Chain A
Amino acid sequence: MSRPSPDHPSTTPSKRPRSIPGSGLAKGLAVTLRTMTRRSVTAQYPDVQPDLAPRTRGVIGLFEENCTVCMLCARECPDWCIYIDSHKETVPPAAPGGRERSRNVLDRFAIDFALCMYCGICIEVCPFDALFWSPEFEYAETDIRELTHERDKLREWMWTVPEPPALDPAAEEPKEIAAARKAADKLAAQQAAEAEAEAEAEAEAEAEAPAGTQDTPDRDTKEEGT
């Protein structure tokens, strides 16, 4: 706050306001003393695990059921650290007389974390949600070759992937949930309209024939109840 403020009449802009000699020294002492009374910021990592954010980029997990071997991740990877091998299998036709289908089967999926630069492009680009960030970070090795994690290890990492963080209270609904809700609402409205129309029709029918048989209304209530 040494800069003279324009609304302060006593200080000229060319000259800094005169202060008591030694006030700067005292200010310095106050700063260090205040820091001493505060909590220190040192992270005691091996003793105390760090409190990581939910989107921490620790390691990449593979949910291999979702993988279709489309190779997008391997091709988008800037430093080519994803290795994918696969072969084609022919699946017999689902219905008799149908055509045979071919399907990609994953043989090898490995990420070399010695090369990986944790850009996350593979995760962004995966169209089938097979790759995820996990906050785990303690996988240092003494041999660099061990840093190539094969599919079993990548699947292990998958179980450490945290749930996605909850949305903000005022956030927009996720697109897929919104679409599902819209469809469900539409269906419910349709059913309600149908049920109403049916009930009206029955009420009309009852009004027209008041001397009906005794067991008919019973059956009607049962039907409405189900």
Chain B
Amino acid sequence: MSDTLAIALRLLAVFVVFLVFPLVIGQTEHKVMAHMQGRLGPMYAGGFHGWAQLVADGVKFAQKEDIVPAGADRRIFQLAPAVALLPYLLVLVAIPIGPHNAVGQALDAGIFFVLAVMGVGVLGSLMAGWASANKFSLLGGLRTAAQLLAYELPMLLAAASVAMAAGTLSLPGILDAFHWWWVPWQIVGGVVFFTAGLAELQRPPFDMPVADSEIIFGAYTEYTGLRFALFLLAEYAGIVVLCALTSVLFLGGWHGPFGADGLGWLWTLLKTVVLAFGVIWLRVTYPRLREDQLQKLAWTVLIPLALAQIALTGIVKVVIS
């Protein structure tokens, strides 16, 4: 009985995080982006500096008519937003936020599970692109597919490097094995992982598949109302997952600097928030990469770097053991 209750509580906590954090990051993006562009951003909704802007947006999306195009593959079209969003919820379950088993569900092959399920999220865009019966959607879907192929590889390789260093696939296991000098040791892998993750989320500057000024939001062209909102939510949930995962794998998760581990989950939170700020910052600063530049960056820069990181990890591992 108490086991069931404990599991229910953990899942509830994960679900609350899943509902709240993407909105917090979305609001932060509104404000940070505005101030980086010399604007103020939302100022009215909710009274104080537009804190309820995303709530208002949600209400607006819920009121809109849910349209399915006549030529669309109806079931797939309607299913796609869920496929895009739910994997991130599943990934959140497996991410440890603090010491002493503070995780939704500890998995032995956690890193494997997390990366596999994150890859599924992109399938949502693919399904939407194919099922919409719209040329822009199809173009966006194909670009998504190309981007997934190109960036999944460096992401996996970079994560594999950490798994090699720790000698385990379990995320809490990796954190238990963590030492401060892992950060400089795995820094290249960390940068590759984070960049590839950004590309997989289709965040600017890697937003060629959704490029609103060229192919009208790509795979999401035909979506309206709540389903469109779910796609947007998936993007922000993806940011939460990517930042949390990067901080767990490469920045030591709940380990503080200089042995100050006392704060526990606050360290994870802090690192995640700083990384999320970085995601927003990159979005504001850089223009969109062209499709060929996107592919070139993945195949000629990120993959060699990830391979070099694996070699370095292997050498150091052999030397110190």
Binding site for B on A (CB under 8 A): 25, 28-29, 31-33, 35-36, 38, 40-42, 44
Can you name 18 A-B residue pairings with CB atoms under 8 Å?
A: A28-B286, A29-B281, A29-B285, A31-B285, A32-B36, A32-B37, A32-B285, A33-B36, A33-B281, A35-B36, A35-B37, A36-B32, A36-B36, A40-B34, A40-B35, A40-B40, A41-B39, A42-B40
Total residues of chain B contacting the partner, CB 8 A? 14
Identify whether the interface residues of A are mostly helix, strand, loop, or mixed.
Answer: helix
Binding site for A on B (CB under 8 A): 32, 34-40, 43, 281-282, 284-286
Chain B residues with CB under 8 Å of A25's CB are: 286
Chain A residues with CB under 8 Å of B35's CB are: 35-36, 40
- In this complex, the member of A25, A29, A32, A33 whose beta carbon has the largest number of chain B beta carbons within 10 angstroms is A32
User: In the complex, which residue of chain A has the Cβ closest to the Cβ of B283?
Assistant: A32
Contact of B38 among A29, A33, A40, A44 (CB under 8 A): A40
Bound complex: CA A33 to CA B278 (Å): 11
Bound complex: CA A35 to CA B39 (Å): 10
Identify whether the interface residues of B are mostly helix, strand, loop, or mixed.
Answer: helix
Chain A to chain B: the 10 pairs with minimum beta-carbon distance, closest first: A32-B36, A42-B40, A36-B35, A36-B36, A32-B285, A28-B285, A41-B38, A32-B284, A40-B40, A40-B38
Chain A residues with CB under 8 Å of B282's CB are: 29
Bound complex: CA A40 to CA B35 (Å): 6
Bound complex: CA A29 to CA B280 (Å): 11
User: In the complex, which residue of chain A has the Cβ closest to the Cβ of B284?
Assistant: A32
Chain A residues with CB under 8 Å of B37's CB are: 32, 35
Q: Would B286 and A35 count as touching, CB distance under 8 A?
A: no
What distance in Å separates the Cβ of B279 from its nearest Cβ neighbour in chain A?
13
Bound complex: CA A44 to CA B50 (Å): 13
User: In the complex, which residue of chain B has the Cβ closest to the Cβ of A37?
Assistant: B35
What distance in Å separates the Cβ of B301 from its nearest Cβ neighbour in chain A?
11
Chain B residues with CB under 8 Å of A41's CB are: 38-39
Q: Would B281 and A32 count as touching, CB distance under 8 A?
A: yes
Bound complex: CA A107 to CA B175 (Å): 89
Q: If A29-B281, A32-B281, A33-B281 touch, does A38 touch B38 (CB 8 Å cutoff)?
A: yes
Contact of A44 among B32, B40, B286 (CB under 8 A): B40
Chain B residues with CB under 8 Å of A29's CB are: 281-282, 285
Sample of 6 further A-B pairs with CB below 8 A, known A29-B281, A36-B36? A32-B36, A32-B285, A35-B35, A36-B32, A42-B39, A44-B40
What distance in Å separates the Cβ of A117 from its nearest Cβ neighbour in chain B?
31
User: In the complex, which residue of chain A has the Cβ closest to the Cβ of B280?
Assistant: A32
User: In the complex, which residue of chain B has the Cβ closest to the Cβ of A31?
Assistant: B285
Bound complex: CA A36 to CA B34 (Å): 8
Chain A residues with CB under 8 Å of B38's CB are: 35, 38, 40-42
Bound complex: CA A40 to CA B34 (Å): 8
Q: If A35-B35, A36-B32 touch, does A44 touch B43 (CB 8 Å cutoff)?
A: yes
